[in-house]
């Protein structure tokens, strides 16, 4: 299991970052998640990736959501694409910052679903299994999250005269 966990760390870290909005808090969340996973391994028939996401979400709810951690993220090279065009890099960073701010204003339930489906690439069925929710609930939360993000991006574009 330890070897499998090593290969899942990048996905787990991205998921943790999308939940916390902070690189430092994401690292702490991943560490606490791994500690729990090693102390309480999943049943043999459970998909390890799904179990990791579920444990990570539960740790976040237990420890981090209660503190409402929503700090501005620092530049993380593993979360950004490399670019030689300075203007394109600056524009991408501005858009990423706007998106992170918009995501931080979403309800926690929508952030979880958006993180699993849009960031991690989980199917609706996988997200439903991870969060122990009906697929219809996943789809409606995702639709509401996407609409809220779209509205937020439109409002920020209007305020910049774009």
How many other CB atoms sit within 10 Å of the CB of residue 6? 10
Residue 144: per-residue pLDDT: 93
Q: Are 27 and 59 in contact (CB under 8 A)?
A: no
Alpha carbon 80 to its chain centroid, in Å, reads 14
pLDDT digits (tens, 9 = 90+) for 119-149: 888 889 989 998 999 999 999 999 999 898 8
pLDDT digits (tens, 9 = 90+) for 86-123: 677 777 777 777 777 888 888 989 988 988 888 888 88
Mean pLDDT calculated for residue range 14-21 = 88
Structural domains for the chain? 2-67 (1.10.1740), 85-160 (1.10.10.10)
> What span, in angstroms and rounded, lies between the C-alpha atoms of 135 and 123?
10
pLDDT digits (tens, 9 = 90+) for 70-88: 344 444 444 445 545 667 7
Residue 150: per-residue pLDDT: 85
pLDDT digits (tens, 9 = 90+) for 24-68: 989 999 999 999 988 888 888 888 888 999 999 888 887 755 554
> What span, in angstroms and rounded, lies between the C-alpha atoms of 60 and 67?
10
pLDDT above 90: residue 21? no
How many other CB atoms sit within 10 Å of the CB of residue 120? 18
Alpha carbon 56 to its chain centroid, in Å, reads 10
């Amino acid at each position: 299991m330890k070897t499998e966990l090593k290969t899942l760390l990048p996905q787990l870290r991205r998921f943790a970052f999308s939940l916390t909005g902070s690189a430092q808090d994401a690292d702490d969340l991943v560490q606490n998640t791994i500690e729990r996973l090693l102390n309480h391994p999943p049943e043999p028939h459970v998909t390890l990736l799904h179990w990791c996401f579920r444990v990570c979400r539960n740790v976040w709810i237990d420890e981090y959501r209660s503190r409402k951690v929503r700090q501005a993220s620092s530049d993380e090279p593993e979360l950004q694409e490399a670019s030689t065009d300075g203007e394109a890099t600056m524009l991408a960073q501005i858009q990423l910052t706007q998106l992170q701010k918009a995501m931080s204003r979403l309800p926690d339930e929508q952030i979880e679903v958006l993180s699993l489906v849009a960031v991690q690439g989980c199917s609706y069925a996988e997200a439903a299994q991870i969060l122990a929710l009906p697929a219809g609930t996943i789809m409606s939360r995702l639709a509401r999250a996407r609409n809220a993000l779209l509205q937020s991006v439109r409002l920020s574009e209007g305020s910049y005269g774009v």
